[in-house]
Amino acid sequence: MNETIMKELDELPDEIKVIENRILACVFKKSEIKKLMDSWEITEIAKITEETIKSEDNKHKNRYPNDITRKAELENRKNNSVVYHQFRKDYLEKDSLDKKDQVEFNYKTNRFRAVRKMVDLIAARRK
């Protein structure tokens, strides 16, 4: 049993570091995807604003007369955009991986603490 405990004490920190690096890479990738999504939204908002200013229908009213219609149009464009859906899919995929890695990270760090405590208790009993 002592051999198994010592092996775990030796291996767990390396495993924890690998998982931590995966989490950091995932968080970075998610932030990059979020920036792309935000950029896409800003571009679409600018297009909608430009259309609002330039276009008039038969009644000489703006195409998107208020915030509600502009927000609805933005949502409509999001729903119809293949690019936005790909961004969203990639983001959710990274988010799912991040959550799985976070659970594994928590398990391994808790396991490491428990094994270290066990070693401390064994050492204290031997004194």
Q: Tell me the C-alpha to C-alpha distance, in Å, between residue 76 and each of 28, 47, 53, 56.
A: 29, 13, 19, 20
Are 8 and 111 in contact, with CB atoms under 8 Å apart? yes
Q: How far apart are CA 117 and CA 119, in angstroms?
A: 5
* Amino acid code (one letter) for 75: E
Please give the Cα distance from 14 to 11 (Å, whole number).
Answer: 6
Rounded CA separation 52/46 (Å): 10
- Dump pLDDT digits (tens) for 77-103: 999 999 999 999 999 999 999 999 999
- CB 115, CB 6: distance < 8 Å: no
Q: Please give the pLDDT value at position 108.
A: 95
Percent of the chain with pLDDT over 90: 65
Residue 52 C-alpha from the chain's centroid: 34
Q: What is the pLDDT of residue 60?
A: 60
Helix (H, G, I), strand (E, B), or coil: what is residue 23?
helix
- Domain residue extents for the chain: 2-126
pLDDT at 118: 87
Q: Which of 15-19, 80-84, 105-109, 115-119 has the lowest mean pLDDT?
A: 115-119
Check: CB of residue 26 under 8 Å from CB of residue 97.
Answer: yes
pTM of the predicted model as reported, rounded to 2 decimal places: 0.76
Q: What is the pLDDT of residue 3?
A: 84
